[in-house]
Amino acid sequence: MAKIFEVDKDYHADVKVFEVDQDYKADLLIYIVDKDYHAKGDALWFYVDKDYHATTKIFWVDKEYHADLKIFYVNQPHLAKWKKPHELKNQL
């Protein structure tokens, strides 16, 4: 389950994330859910407001080459999935 907390320093992050502008460039297509119990797997994210509630702490990077993970937001939960094999699969 992906309960996500955004940190303000890269050294506090578990994963450095970059948002791409096209789905084919992404490692992971994600959908934001509105309830924490809907956060299932790696692709359905729920943002938490406390770091101790998070399963993963992320830091947004401004350059694609700095990222551990490239994401693209989708507008339907059934579209959320891994696009490519990745070392972070089942770890968010």
pTM, whole model, 2 decimals? 0.90
pLDDT digits 0-9 by tens, 7-48: 999 899 999 999 999 999 999 999 999 998 898 889 999 999
Range 48-67 average pLDDT: 95
Domain ranges of the chain: 2-82
Instruction: Report the percentage of the chain scoring pLDDT > 90.
Output: 84
> Looking at the chain, which runs of residues are DSSP E strands?
2-6, 15-19, 28-32, 44-47, 56-60, 69-73, 81-82
Q: How many CA atoms lie within 13 A of 10 on its CB side?
A: 10
Range 86-91 average pLDDT: 90
The rounded mean pLDDT for the chain is: 94
- pLDDT above 90: residue 1: no
